[in-house]
Structure 1
Amino acid sequence: MNEKSKVYFTNLRTTGSNNILQKLKKLVLEAGLGEIDFENKFTAIKIHLGEPGNLAYLRPNFSKVMVELIKGQGGKPFLTDCNTLYVGRRKNALEHMDAAYENGYNPFVTGCHVIIADGLKGTDDIEVPLEGGDYVTEAKIGRAIMDADVLISMTHFKGHEATGFGGTLKNIGMGSGSRRGKVEMHSAGKPFIKEEKCRSCKMCSKICAMNAIYYGVDDGKATIDHDKCVGCGRCMGICSFDAIAVPFDQSNDILNKKIAEYAKATINGRPQFHVSFVIDVSPYCDCHVENDMPIIQDVGIFASCDPVALDMACADACNKAPIIKGSYLEDQIHHNHVQHPEEKDRFTVTHPNTNWEVCIAHAVKIGLGSSEYEMIEV
């Protein structure tokens, strides 16, 4: 796509008569939210609900603005995310909901319900056909997200140790993948058993459609036959003891490309709108149980109907923002003896083994959006 997409921006300066929530409302309406037909439409608001202990996640007050606007246009919004692949407090729907409520994401604050899109154990998904991808032919997307008529994303823009940064494409692509979808994106290999955690409950073999799991005669521990295993990841969802893991053996570049392909599968063929908050730009993913101090000065809020242009605009803005003294980014500059750091990409300096531009380029290649944009300040 060569045509420039429109990206709208508002800074974080406020007055007594124009606070940040009012500015957000004006921004998204100017950017086109009001032009979407929400009447009686189920609207998924894809958001990271925050891993407890990490305080960089988006405040639920921002979600309330979006919820009220969508309801005002006759829509039926709900906040949603999928369960995590790693062990934490968002790996199943019950703990995930507890975490969401603890972080303020409840109907009393936001005005709508939270639905964990891939169900209790991360196994409730839909296989979505994808044409034109290099790696994915059927993306495994959380059912509630695919059941929605409209998709809205709200993203906290931050650094990421595997993808360079976590922006809108990652929020939609990785975030909408079920647990087995996340397996597909993160790994070229297949799940394996952590014997020290296996309780020999045999639940994994009951859900395996390929009869790929058997048990030791002496110790009763599970083993996965990789000749039979197709890597669907459902055994990971059913295991209550975190005894099944996946080898994270996919290169970061391929991971980035798969994220772009999953993002396309998620949003293809239905109305979409995206908001990205370039604030508290921490060096690592919000999935951590902690958040380090920001690596750059806060920038503002961006919105667009094109997720690719939105990520590009946010990255460009970050690369113009002042580096914060004492941050992890400054540590990396000193540790790696980076010359002229103000001219370097903030995210590749923070995580030298990553290249976020791969995701953008692949998203453009598969027709997800444009990397060229026109910035409109609101």
Structure 2
Amino acid sequence: MAEKAKVYFADFRAADFHENLQQKLYRLMKAAGCGDIDFEGKYVAIKLHFGEPGNLAFLRPNWAKTVADFVRDQGGKPFLTDCNTLYVGGRKNALDHLDSAYLNGFSPLSTGCHCIIADGLKGNDEAYVPVEGGKYVKEAKIGRAIMDADILISLTHFKGHENTGFGGVLKNIGMGSGSRAGKMEQHNAGKPSVNGDKCVGCGTCEEICAHGAAVVGPEGKASIDQDKCVGCGRCLTHCPMDAVYASNDESNDILNCKIAEYTKAVVDGRPCFHISLVIDVSPLCDCYWLNDAPIVQDVGMFASFDPIALDQACADAVNAQPPLPGSALDGENFHECGHDHFHYMHPDTNWETALSHGEALGLGQRQYELIKI
């Protein structure tokens, strides 16, 4: 029988005044073996979520500073990174994205390292990465700066998610590292459409399309020929009116599988380490411009080399908690959900799909040993 994956855990207690929580995270990383990676002179991408402006559930920049300090102490060159969003909001291009990051406290002054938006100014600076064993994705579109890094560390805020059940390590890496076109590929069949109400007929999509799929008709509105479209997403990233959009027509199960396949594309072939903080467990993603009350009490910090085991351990830890009174989880039918908090909140989701598919791809294993420090 294969040895279980090791997941390291530390609670959020600091009652003995021996160390603060940032020092505790540093000790957790050390105990989990992160220091065994050869960081000397290496570029290290710290993949995290900077938080949509208005949302207050995202991880504080103090946590990112601790991870960056650890990397620098080992001789590495850390940078914080994320890719632009598919939806229109505070992070759809690198300039707005950096403004949002700075607004939420992620600056070189507070974290000790720079922020780099991995897929560039308009979200189309991407690397095409083969997915070994991919069923739905053969070649993932990943933000170039993430693929240029020698080492990847994921720093994840564990929370609920309306499409995937929860947002954990796989969501942070797989969806989060996709370029705008990569995110489109995960959310739908891979081909965009045009909102005629927003389109002004400027012709930008027609000029940028290399396959003649985007055409401005005589009525002054663009349309996309789905037979000619190859799903590259260039029109989506260049439209000045945000009239080009992804249809979000994939099922949640297929979305979860694609996220696992994108994660595999990102982590294959280089050292990776994963941290997940089960704190401020909001019902929805940090991509929202607001956040609801936490559904359970803060649990602790988890770390592992195995992303599948880490997500499983965090899910188990949350599901073991009682719902917080007054939260979205505190409903009269709660006990009918079999204590699957995420399915209770989002009945159309099945978070286990991503973990099972990721395990089949060789990303890791769901069986784990929890080691408390």
Residue aligned with 2:176, SS: helix
1:238 and 2:213 matched: no
Match for residue 23 of structure 1? Answer: 24
Match for residue 254 of structure 1? Answer: 254
Match for residue 95 of structure 1? Answer: 96
Q: Percent identity?
A: 61
Query: What does the per-residue CA deviation read over 1:221-271, in whole Å, with 9 as the maximum and x for residues that have no partner?
Result: 111111111111111101121110111110000000000000000000100
Matched letter for residue 302 of structure 1: F
CA distance 1:351–1:202, change in 2 (3 Å): same
Partners of 1:377 and 1:4 lie apart in 2 by: 15
Residue aligned with 2:329, SS: helix
Once superposed, which parts of structure 1, at least 4 consecutive aligned residues long, lie more than 2 Å away?
Answer: 337-341
Match for residue 176 of structure 2? Answer: 175
Partners of 1:280 and 1:339 lie apart in 2 by: 22
Match for residue 35 of structure 1? Answer: 36
How much does 1:338 deviate?
Answer: 4.2
Residue aligned with 1:9, SS: strand
Residue aligned with 1:45, SS: strand
Partners of 1:223 and 1:345 lie apart in 2 by: 43
How many residue pairs align between the two structures?
372
Matched letter for residue 360 of structure 1: L
Partners of 2:258 and 2:230 lie apart in 1 by: 18
Partners of 1:185 and 1:230 lie apart in 2 by: 14
Partners of 2:42 and 2:109 lie apart in 1 by: 22
Check the 8 A contact 1:2/1:372 in 2, yes or no.
no
Check the 8 A contact 1:189/1:249 in 2, yes or no.
no
Check the 8 A contact 2:206/2:216 in 1, yes or no.
no
Match for residue 302 of structure 1? Answer: 302
How much does 1:220 deviate?
Answer: 1.8
Query: What does the per-residue CA deviation read over 1:266-316, in whole Å, with 9 as the maximum and x for residues that have no partner?
Result: 000100001000000000000000000001111000000111100000000
How much does 1:351 deviate?
Answer: 0.6
Match for residue 323 of structure 2? Answer: 323
Partners of 1:132 and 1:107 lie apart in 2 by: 39
Partners of 1:247 and 1:340 lie apart in 2 by: 33
How much does 1:55 deviate?
Answer: 0.4
Partners of 1:64 and 1:359 lie apart in 2 by: 30
Matched letter for residue 279 of structure 1: I
Matched letter for residue 340 of structure 2: D
Partners of 1:368 and 1:277 lie apart in 2 by: 20
Matched letter for residue 318 of structure 2: C
* Equivalences for residues 124-163 of structure 1 within 5 A: 124-163=125-164
* TM-score normalized with structure 2 length: 0.98
Match for residue 50 of structure 2? Answer: 49
How much does 1:19 deviate?
Answer: 1.0
Match for residue 81 of structure 1? Answer: 82
Matched letter for residue 376 of structure 1: I
Partners of 1:13 and 1:339 lie apart in 2 by: 29
Check the 8 A contact 1:10/1:300 in 2, yes or no.
yes
Partners of 1:33 and 1:366 lie apart in 2 by: 23
Gaps of 5+ in 2: none
Matched letter for residue 281 of structure 2: V
287-296 or 234-243, larger mean C-alpha shift? 234-243
Matched letter for residue 260 of structure 1: A
Check the 8 A contact 1:2/1:370 in 2, yes or no.
no
How much does 1:130 deviate?
Answer: 1.2
Gaps of 5+ in 1: none
Partners of 2:132 and 2:35 lie apart in 1 by: 30
Compute the RMSD of aligned alpha carbons: 1.1
CA distance 1:189–1:116, change in 2 (3 Å): closer
- What is the aligned counterpart of 1:362 among 353, 357, 363? 357
Partners of 1:234 and 1:244 lie apart in 2 by: 10
Matched letter for residue 274 of structure 1: H
Partners of 1:208 and 1:149 lie apart in 2 by: 33
Residue aligned with 1:274, SS: strand
Match for residue 186 of structure 2? Answer: 185
Residue aligned with 1:7, SS: strand
Match for residue 276 of structure 2? Answer: 276
How much does 1:189 deviate?
Answer: 5.2
How much does 1:2 deviate?
Answer: 4.1
Match for residue 122 of structure 2? Answer: 121
Residue aligned with 2:45, SS: strand
CA distance 1:376–1:238, change in 2 (3 Å): same
Matched letter for residue 237 of structure 2: G
Partners of 2:30 and 2:316 lie apart in 1 by: 23
* TM-score normalized with structure 1 length: 0.96
Residue aligned with 1:140, SS: strand
- What is the aligned counterpart of 2:346 among 348, 351, 354? 351
* Equivalences for residues 283-298 of structure 1 within 5 A: 283-298=283-298
345-354 or 188-197, larger mean C-alpha shift? 188-197
